[in-house]
Amino acid sequence: MLTRLREAISGLVDLLLPQHCVGCDVAGTAWCRECAGALGALRRVHRPLLGDAPPVFALGRYRGTARRAVLAYKESNRRDLAAPLGAQLAVALRSITSDRPPGDEWWLVPAPSRAVASRRRGGAHMARIAHHAATELTAARMPARVADCLVIAPGAADSAGLTPQQRLDNLSGRVLPRPRGLPPPGAQIALLDDVVTTGATVAGAVSTLDAAQRPVALVLVLTATAG
């Protein structure tokens, strides 16, 4: 109930206050075309924790305008960014899978956040983006659905300041599935996240889905750190 109230208040504020681009502050849009270019350089990401399967792709580097957009969306209540960021993920997924048969259905699985972080942000921030991405993909005749099927169990600490091994240990056994929310067996699954640093969250999510016999075909993230 509290989450719905926060979302209603946030939506009312968005209606009453004019939008400004999070990157350059130009009025009239949450994310202008020029700044959106900061998430236009799709590339493979490699991390020791991840290996090469499934492949991981990032739309941009976690710096400058792209970093401001991610932080504004996650930490400063800029929910108006969910739609444009979701749209950019949809374009990226279409580009990556352009050689596959048209009409194949995809299931988008948002990476989970700690419960305390989700409450602070007024809900699961990647699930919100995933729903926008699914809408864009379906409109482009690439059927997509969202399976918000992963949670982080209590006991996981904030990962800021942890080493790669500490991040992995912190999430070990704590990325759990919601059995009733899993994609169907044999589904094509794309795992979505906002930032890849060490890859611990992605590794935990991929491992959990593998254990549930729901292998991830690819991972798509908004940004990635330098390594």
Number of structural domains the chain divides into: 1
CATH number, domain containing residue 130: 3.40.50
Higher pLDDT, 94 or 118: 94
Task: Tell me whether residue 25 is in a domain.
Answer: no
Task: Tell me whether residue 11 is in a domain.
Answer: no
Contact (CB, 8 A) for 95 and 137? no
Contact (CB, 8 A) for 221 and 194? yes
Query: Is the per-residue pLDDT at 89 higher than 90?
Result: yes
Per the confidence metrics, is the pTM higher than 0.85? yes
Kind and range of the H or E run holding 221? strand 218-224
Task: Tell me whether residue 8 is in a domain.
Answer: no
Task: Tell me whether residue 114 is in a domain.
Answer: yes
Task: List the single range of 115-124, 136-145, 174-183, 217-226 with lowest mean pLDDT.
Answer: 115-124
Task: Tell me whether residue 30 is in a domain.
Answer: no
Centroid of chain to Cα 179: 20
Task: Tell me whether residue 128 is in a domain.
Answer: yes
Higher pLDDT, 120 or 180: 180
Task: Tell me whether residue 112 is in a domain.
Answer: yes
Query: Is the per-residue pLDDT at 136 higher than 90?
Result: yes
**Which domain covers residue 63, as residue numbers?**
38-224
In angstroms, the Cα distances linking 87 to 31, 51, 115, 217 are 11, 28, 26, 20
Task: Tell me whether residue 126 is in a domain.
Answer: yes
